[in-house]
Structure 1
């Protein structure tokens, strides 16, 4: 009886030691936008005037199934969805670099950025694993107060990570000057009858273009990768909004 009592006490003590290990959740380690500061970044840095709850301790863990348009992703940190709270706004230009701070580098399909619920730009990683710091440059942001929802879509799970950034877009961006109206010209042999020698309509600074729209400009053909207004195709560069399809 004494031996049995001793063994029982030992097993109870061992169970007490193992219980926290068995029930403790695994540490969350993923990523969030730190610049311009996202809502969860403000919570973590205590730069808000209200209680954020648990997200202030783990801004990297705003994870939920893909496809949500909520700042929380529809997960547990619902304080992030409350637009009536006085979230600080960051003043930016029409072009801004979004910086993600990652604590776990998940294989990534795409990074999506929505301005007031409308898809603005997408960056495709094709399943690659990102570095610890990821930066994306957004261009042609509309002026005024906006909320940018960023969605990091993980390639090998059904989940994504979410971050909302509240901004005021000012007039500090460098918008290209309007192009002068080209003088009518007579097409040369084999050229379509447009000023730039392309079948596509000539690019116009005051026209909104979306993904797949084609324009002609300076004797070359360009295709828009995402929404754009006022960005000269000739100045777009390899990572800009316009894809150069070559000479007409």
Structure 2
């Protein structure tokens, strides 16, 4: 009887190890929580009907090279990942928004479940006059990031903050697309944060 129980326990242990090693994409990664990202709003229960992203806010990973490459227009907030398509749904422009001021100094914060060697962090913002009830596209965004933080291949700690200035000349509702470019894989991580100037 003991041999059967031991064999069953070993089998369960091997199955668990197999699951953990084959689903590595869910075990690492990160997201922004300041300004709060759509995936964090889903994970903390502020926004409902989010699908799988509520359990995996750190997993919004897609091809790097934005804006010339990367996810397709209309899928930017989900990193091109159809599993997280709820992040691309504009919800009639009603996502909760962080209050900010044009030109203010602001501390951007990331949370990582496991860090990758990092090229940089880039922050893009929507153009004046963009329509918050439509999916995000490249044409909706300013072409140049308003903040770039080089990281020279280093690995960030589990929480990482950097300070920059919010863009000037902005009023009303906008969307910030944060892009964490990984140095040692072909991917980047994407986070959309709704803000109100």
Q: TM-score, normalised by structure 2?
A: 0.71
Please report how far the alpha carbon of residue 161 of structure 1 lies from its aligned counterpart in structure 2 after TM superposition: 0.8
Query: Which residue is equivalent to 1:112?
Result: 122
1:165 aligns with 2:193: yes
2:60 corresponds, among 59, 62, 65, to 62
* Partners of 1:37 and 1:139 in 2: CA distance: 15
**Ranges in structure 2 where 5+ consecutive residues have no aligned partner:** 127-140
Distance 2:160 2:147 in 1: 19
Deviations 1:26-83 (A, max 9, x none): 35222111112110111111111x3111111121111111123601110131111111
Partner of 1:74: helix, strand, or coil? coil
**Which whole-Å CA distance do the structure 2 matches of 1:164 and 1:72 have between them?**
8
Asked if 1:93 is matched to 2:101, the reply is yes
Distance in 2 between residues matched to 1:20 and 1:106, nearest whole Å: 24
Structure 1: gaps (5+ residues): 1-5, 170-248
Q: Which runs of 4+ in 1 moved over 6 A?
A: none
Find the aligned partners of 1:138 and 1:126 in 2 and give their Cα distance: 21
SS at match of 1:156: coil
Contact 2:43/2:55 (<8 A) preserved: yes
Relative contact order (C-alpha < 8 Å, sep 6+): which is higher?
2
Which protein has the larger Cα radius of gyration, Structure 1 or Structure 2?
1
Which deviates further from its counterpart, 110-119 or 23-32? 23-32
1:13 Cα offset (Å) = 4.6
Find the counterpart in structure 2 of residue 230 from structure 1.
none
SS of residue matched to 1:77: helix
Q: Is the 8 A contact 1:98 1:138 kept in 2?
A: no
Tell me whether 105-114 or 80-89 shows the greater mean CA deviation.
80-89
Q: Deviations over 1:108-158 (max 9, x none)?
A: 111111112223222211212223322232333412210000000011111
Q: C-alpha displacement at 1:162, in angstroms?
A: 0.7
TM-score, normalised with respect to structure 1: 0.58
1:68-83 equivalences in 2 (<5 Å): 68=70, 70-75=76-81, 76-83=83-90
CA shift digits 1:169-192 (9 cap, x unpaired): 1xxxxxxxxxxxxxxxxxxxxxxx
> Number of matched residues?
161
RMSD: 2.4
CA contact (8 A) 1:147 1:167 kept: yes
Distance in structure 1 (CA, Å) of the matches to 2:9 and 2:109:
46
Partners of 1:22 and 1:106 lie apart in 2 by 22
